[in-house]
Structure 1
Amino acid sequence: MKNYLIITLFSFTSLLIAQNTDQSWKLYDDTQVAVISVTMDQVSYNWMISHPQSDSMHRCYVHFKNAHIDKVIENVGIRIRGNTSRDSKKKSFKLSFNTFVQGREFYDVDKMNINGEHNDPSIIRSKICWDFFQKIGMKSSRAAHAALYINNLYHGLCISVEHIDDEFINKNFSDPSGNLWKCLYPADLTWKGSNPDSYKFYSGSRQAYELTTNEKVNDYTQLARLIRIITQTPDNQFPDSLESIFNVDEFLKYEAMNVILGGWDDYWSLMNNYYLYYEPTEKKFHWIPYDYDNSFGVDWFSIDWSKAPPYSFPKVAQGQRPLIERILSVPKYRNLYSHFLKFIREKIFYLENWESKLFNLKNMISPFVVNDNFRTLDYGFTLSDFHNSYTTSYSNQHVKKGIRQFAVERYNYLSDKINFVTAPPMIYKIDFFPKNPRPNDSIYVYASGFSSNEIDKMTIHFHPGMLTVIYFYDMKFSPLISSSKVDEADRWVGVIPPLGSLGYGRFKIEAKDKIGITTVYPLGDFINIKASSGSASNSLLINEFMADNTNFIKDPAGEYDDWVELYNPTQNSITLTGMYLTDKKNNLTKWQFTQTNLKLDPGKHLLVWCDENHNDNQPGIHTNFKLSKSGEFIGLVANDGVTWLDSLTFGPQTSDISFGRTPDGSSTWKLMSPTPGSANIITSIANEFTLAEFKVSAFPNPFNPTTTIQYHLNKISDVSITIYDLLGRVIWSIIKTNQPIGINNITWQGKNEIGKSVNSGLYICKISDGNNQSVIKLLLLK
């Protein structure tokens, strides 16, 4: 059957499909040096500088200005931050927007780390490293340069690095309710016994494994379980056990990048500087990188890091590193690590790929370096040191090589040092879309795999329902050739036909290499999929909500919390017990109504407080998530954890103004005077909301033979891109999953889905993220 595009103009008077407008990307835009001006009491400033080890916050005003923002914010907290750098002359600072104003955020962050980079005469090494991690698609901090002034005194050029905390987790993971550990020296992941409390030990004045979320519960059970699996599992059970709790591919990407960068201030070399996040829904740990000023030839140990062996990376602190040691002893993991080394070396680290960006940044920051007297105080770095540290021949004290010098020498050294051993093929990433299919939706399955012998074939093994019969669906190798993400370069795509109403099944994927060795993934349980019924009749509705309850209504505990109102539009009582509320499209079971026999009578309303106080035994009903006044998603899900009963995506909200259906249960959403727990009333402030699009452009356009389609996302999304001809026929299409916030690119090479070049002419490109869509014309001229 042919696919056709019908383009129609609608008058949306009763439909809400607004963007989730996360604004934090504006803080880390690197097209201009931000200027951060802090004003604080001089006595407090003097005390802070003379007590660098103190974590006490001091009140201040902050004026933040860059290409997108020019705002002053008051009652901000400021303190000195860092570990060894606290005693440096050029200090690093932390800004906190929610210390003195609880719950407040500034462009969707509540903390900012302003790092002085006193070790680095180039004031750019960590910025390059963070950019590299972003390019390979790893969950990591964003970074941008900033000029810092405190009480009109210029404290120098710094790097603003995204703080890793609950806000970071919320932006980057589907389920942000888990435990986040900050792991510092000596966090070697060695076994200290089965008692979880054994891992709460201190090294000096701080914990090696510091729990930074869910601190009141202070549960180290999952961390102890991970370390037990790493250290106590027999060799023949190690891969199955490890993959059941840990994302091995993330760790291997991290180590491959660190080894290439000469980043010794890490787990392998120094048992230091990383985060572990346990995601409850996935039931797995994620590895998050941290701290990169000691890279690109910075050395305190008389080691030439440009010649550090990739399989025996030097340890600057002796002792066991069981995670990397055991992983590299498994042939398939060693090969995957080698594959990542090779990919990052060639696609990311090759100097010509980023040299122009390096010098564009240097030119941009140079005027701010000239007057930075603080950068000279710790090691006597001069302006010549700044300029020369970018070159191909430079050395001064602990900075043993210039950035370009290190990049060239490291690239050349690794040219014949990466090798492979005999091992079966490995599938290291599996995903499918849509996550919650409707009865007639085909399910697209994506798998990324590698074999040193090349993968010849991938096949989906699908078991429908409870049957033992297996359906086999061949997958197609569909790499994104120009992608900087190895997962996309290794990608295979297959399709499972529609499941029908309430249909379900489970699948695994088999990979076969070119010498006939096969393997099946996942190693453990099957991946389960289930379709909805296609209808949500006789259901509850989300009727009204307030995402910025500043001073309107208190919850039973006397707190001004976000809230959602549910409404029963039917003629019968509905039992809520077992249903779910969520603020994540990829986590339908985030919070469940567990109250016994909780019912809502016809025409009645129920108020639910969204305040993360679900474990505090407060009166009323409280979820484990808050709403974002900058825009977010709310979903109501049936007891099966799959069927949507109601959902909406909303944009920025106004303090003490609610957003609701008017009248109750209707399809028209309006800003209104809040009516929590009672019928919605239309007031003069009402505004109807219409379909929102996102920005899309293409360059060059007209083009020959390729064009880059650029789109901006305000939240992590699955995005479909489809090219049509003027007859409405599909010419080329692709679905890109888990696309990050900010600017994303996809290249169309003027070819159809079988790789044949298309004729000159006008084409239509439609981009959709499931809630919003945009259409752009593309003109191919030959």
Structure 2
Amino acid sequence: MKIKSLLTTTLLLLLFCACRDEESIVENEEEEEEVIIDIADYSDWDDATHSKSAELNYDVVFNQNEVLRFDITIDSDDWSEMQSNLSSILSSSSGRPGQSIDFDDPMFVPCSFKFNNTEWYHVGIRYKGNSSLQSAYQSGIKKLSFKLDFDEFEDDYPAIKNQRFYGFKQLNLKNNYLDLSQMREKVGADVFRQFGLASSQTAFCVVYVDYGSGPQYYGLYTIVEEVDDSVIKTQFTDGSGNLYKPDGSAATFASGTFDTSELELKTNEDSANYSDARTLYDIINSSLRTSDVEAWKNNLESVFNVDAFLKYLAANNIIQNWDTYGNMTHNYYLYNNPVNSLLTWIPWDNNEAFQEGKRYGTLSLSMSEVSSSWPLIKYIIAQPEYEAIYEGYLQQFIDEVFSPSEMISTYSTYYDLIKEYVYAEESGYSFLSSDSQFDSAVETLKTHAQTRNNVVESYLN
């Protein structure tokens, strides 16, 4: 009986192993088949265009002489979920136009992204923006801004690990919200950079979106470089420092407002050391400002790039960007440059520039109306030495960057470049109601350049 039982057990074990081996073979065959399919699905992949090892190709991605075309395809179910998520987020938020609104970022969904007949796979796409996103959405305009992240879904699709778009991990497609000229976002970023300030590269593109019913023209957009992706890597010698994107009352750096939850770290998140930002906060509000001003200035200059900030103020006040520091608690970055350990100002979001402030007014050139609620302006510009430097930069900006002849030429060039794409925008996907609105807005920009030069000359003389 024991022998019979042993034989039976042995046979059962052999049968079990045989079944396991057969299942293993089937699984291996299925895995091999999946690999073959995986390779076929990613046939457009090329190191020069898709891999992390690719050099940042600014000539292609930020082509200044063409309007690029991007085709985005999103699965209909993902699209529906994307819309439900956005509706849920915005229905529970509130805030005045132009102010920061406290809501979570919209969700990413995967999309197929095509450019020049080449596909990038499972690219993360989400809506982006703050009050501009809410306002455009509530007005029924479907031309909303997007953020792209080319390896957002690499965990779900390992074959696209570290996918890049000509070296870039993230890009912003901005919708030129409330900008009838469609140029302010681009020109604002460009003039800052031309003046020697860190600022994103920009270019024009058109966007088509297909979520199941065929490609829909979403209109002319501005491609804007992501600060924490490539700006700090290419416009600073060392891109390893802390990068903050303040948003909320702490962004004022006013006394009693310091709050790390409103000083979003975009780099070095794991270490989350806010000591540099805290030091700036403490120094700008220090009693030394009134008891020992030279010591206060020395301390300030040891942590904050005051010269770059004065340069920024000069350019920003001339172009009249009202939706920024001094009026609004957002729309800038602070980067702790490892080369000199100075927090350096990086401007962001220029679609509301080049016009009188429609809601809250732009800052005057003297900034005398600015209160201690904005100490980085109020306390710095109150020092005669800093005021003199600032006024020197006012003159330099209109002489070297914002001269009427230079700006009129720029606006005319961009008008010729983009007008056919602006004219082609469709109702429901445009902030324009007529082609003539676009034409008139461009002429207004030209007049604005001359007017602002006259204002600066009058102020300085």
TM-score, normalized by length of structure 2? 0.76
Tell me what 2:94 maps to. none
* Kept in 2: contact 1:310–1:418 (CA 8 A): no
Structure 1 CA distance for aligned equivalents of residues 321 and 124 of structure 2: 31
1:56 is matched by which residue type in structure 2?
A: M
Secondary structure of the 1:60 match is: strand
1:310 is the counterpart of 2:358: no
Tell me what 2:455 maps to. 413
Quote how far apart the aligned CAs of 1:64 are: 2.1
Tell me what 1:189 maps to. 253
Tell me what 2:129 maps to. 82
1:35 is the counterpart of 2:69: yes
1:158 is matched by which residue type in structure 2?
A: Y
CA gap of 1:371–1:46, structure 2 versus 1, over 3 A, is farther
* Kept in 2: contact 1:182–1:275 (CA 8 A): yes
Quote how far apart the aligned CAs of 1:174 are: 2.0
User: How many residue pairs end up in the alignment?
Assistant: 371
1:174 is the counterpart of 2:241: no
* Kept in 2: contact 1:230–1:242 (CA 8 A): yes
1:331 is the counterpart of 2:331: no
* Kept in 2: contact 1:40–1:61 (CA 8 A): yes
Quote how far apart the aligned CAs of 1:120 are: 0.5
| Equivalent of 1:212 in 254, 262, 266 | 266
1:120 is matched by which residue type in structure 2?
A: D
| Equivalent of 2:182 in 105, 112, 123 | 123
Structure 2 CA distance for aligned equivalents of residues 382 and 143 of structure 1: 25
CA gap of 1:302–1:100, structure 2 versus 1, over 3 A, is closer
1:411 is matched by which residue type in structure 2?
A: N
Secondary structure of the 2:460 match is: coil
| Equivalent of 1:249 in 287, 293, 307 | 307
* Kept in 2: contact 1:199–1:220 (CA 8 A): no
Quote how far apart the aligned CAs of 1:277 are: 0.7
5+ residue gaps, structure 2: 1-53, 90-104, 155-160
Kindly provide the CA deviation profile for residues 65-98 of structure 1, in whole angstroms up to 9, marking residues without a partner as x. 4xxxx53211100000011122312200011112
| Equivalent of 1:162 in 225, 230, 254 | 225
* Kept in 2: contact 1:37–1:62 (CA 8 A): yes
> Residues 256-271 of structure 1: matches in 2 within 5 Å?
256-271=314-329
Quote how far apart the aligned CAs of 1:314 are: 5.5
2:240 is matched by which residue type in structure 1?
A: S
Structure 2 CA distance for aligned equivalents of residues 366 and 50 of structure 1: 34
Tell me what 1:61 maps to. 112
Structure 2 CA distance for aligned equivalents of residues 86 and 292 of structure 1: 15
Tell me what 2:203 maps to. 144
Structure 1 CA distance for aligned equivalents of residues 170 and 228 of structure 2: 9
CA gap of 1:46–1:276, structure 2 versus 1, over 3 A, is same
Structure 1 CA distance for aligned equivalents of residues 435 and 428 of structure 2: 9
Quote how far apart the aligned CAs of 1:302 are: 6.8
5+ residue gaps, structure 1: 1-19, 202-206, 392-401, 420-782
Structure 2 CA distance for aligned equivalents of residues 367 and 262 of structure 1: 28
Structure 2 CA distance for aligned equivalents of residues 98 and 313 of structure 1: 47
Secondary structure of the 1:269 match is: coil
Moved over 6 A (4+): none
* Kept in 2: contact 1:155–1:374 (CA 8 A): no
Tell me what 1:99 maps to. 152
Structure 2 CA distance for aligned equivalents of residues 410 and 138 of structure 1: 20
Structure 1 CA distance for aligned equivalents of residues 335 and 430 of structure 2: 37
Tell me what 1:223 maps to. 277
CA gap of 1:319–1:153, structure 2 versus 1, over 3 A, is farther
Secondary structure of the 2:442 match is: coil
Tell me what 1:340 maps to. 393
1:388 is matched by which residue type in structure 2?
A: S
CA gap of 1:409–1:281, structure 2 versus 1, over 3 A, is closer
* Kept in 1: contact 2:85–2:106 (CA 8 A): no
Secondary structure of the 2:208 match is: strand
> Residues 187-586 of structure 1: matches in 2 within 5 Å?
187-192=251-256, 198-201=258-261, 207=262, 209-232=263-286, 233-234=288-289, 235-297=293-355, 299-301=357-359, 303=361, 305=362, 309-312=364-367, 320-373=373-426, 381-391=433-443, 402-418=444-460
Secondary structure of the 1:349 match is: coil
Structure 2 CA distance for aligned equivalents of residues 280 and 312 of structure 1: 31
Structure 1 CA distance for aligned equivalents of residues 316 and 178 of structure 2: 18
Q: Which has the higher helix share?
A: 2
Tell me what 1:745 maps to. none
Tell me what 1:26 maps to. 60
Structure 1 CA distance for aligned equivalents of residues 200 and 230 of structure 2: 12
Tell me what 1:774 maps to. none
CA gap of 1:248–1:375, structure 2 versus 1, over 3 A, is farther
Structure 1 CA distance for aligned equivalents of residues 190 and 266 of structure 2: 25
Structure 1 CA distance for aligned equivalents of residues 190 and 430 of structure 2: 28
* Kept in 1: contact 2:243–2:265 (CA 8 A): yes
Tell me what 1:694 maps to. none
Secondary structure of the 2:285 match is: helix
Quote how far apart the aligned CAs of 1:280 are: 3.2
Quote how far apart the aligned CAs of 1:63 are: 0.9
TM-score, normalized by length of structure 1? 0.45
2:221 is matched by which residue type in structure 1?
A: C
Quote how far apart the aligned CAs of 1:21 are: 4.4
CA gap of 1:175–1:95, structure 2 versus 1, over 3 A, is same
1:293 is matched by which residue type in structure 2?
A: N
2:231 is matched by which residue type in structure 1?
A: F
* Kept in 2: contact 1:33–1:145 (CA 8 A): yes
* Kept in 2: contact 1:268–1:313 (CA 8 A): no
Kindly provide the CA deviation profile for residues 670-706 of structure 1, in whole angstroms up to 9, marking residues without a partner as x. xxxxxxxxxxxxxxxxxxxxxxxxxxxxxxxxxxxxx
2:114 is matched by which residue type in structure 1?
A: H
Structure 2 CA distance for aligned equivalents of residues 29 and 137 of structure 1: 20
* Kept in 2: contact 1:190–1:320 (CA 8 A): yes
Tell me what 1:757 maps to. none
CA gap of 1:264–1:302, structure 2 versus 1, over 3 A, is closer
Structure 2 CA distance for aligned equivalents of residues 99 and 256 of structure 1: 38
Kindly provide the CA deviation profile for residues 699-737 of structure 1, in whole angstroms up to 9, marking residues without a partner as x. xxxxxxxxxxxxxxxxxxxxxxxxxxxxxxxxxxxxxxx
C-alpha root-mean-square deviation of aligned residues, in Å?
Answer: 2.2
2:192 is matched by which residue type in structure 1?
A: F
Structure 1 CA distance for aligned equivalents of residues 69 and 427 of structure 2: 16
* Kept in 2: contact 1:156–1:368 (CA 8 A): yes
Structure 1 CA distance for aligned equivalents of residues 429 and 109 of structure 2: 27
* Kept in 2: contact 1:309–1:417 (CA 8 A): no
Structure 1 CA distance for aligned equivalents of residues 302 and 357 of structure 2: 37
* Kept in 1: contact 2:190–2:199 (CA 8 A): no
Structure 1 CA distance for aligned equivalents of residues 231 and 269 of structure 2: 17
Kindly provide the CA deviation profile for residues 185-219 of structure 1, in whole angstroms up to 9, marking residues without a partner as x. 431012338xxxx5224xxxxx3x21111112221
* Kept in 1: contact 2:427–2:433 (CA 8 A): no
Q: Which has the higher strand share?
A: 1
CA gap of 1:236–1:375, structure 2 versus 1, over 3 A, is farther
* Kept in 2: contact 1:296–1:403 (CA 8 A): yes
Kindly provide the CA deviation profile for residues 467-512 of structure 1, in whole angstroms up to 9, marking residues without a partner as x. xxxxxxxxxxxxxxxxxxxxxxxxxxxxxxxxxxxxxxxxxxxxxx
1:183 is matched by which residue type in structure 2?
A: P
> Which one has more relative contact order, counting CA pairs under 8 Å at least 6 apart?
2
Structure 1 CA distance for aligned equivalents of residues 281 and 230 of structure 2: 26
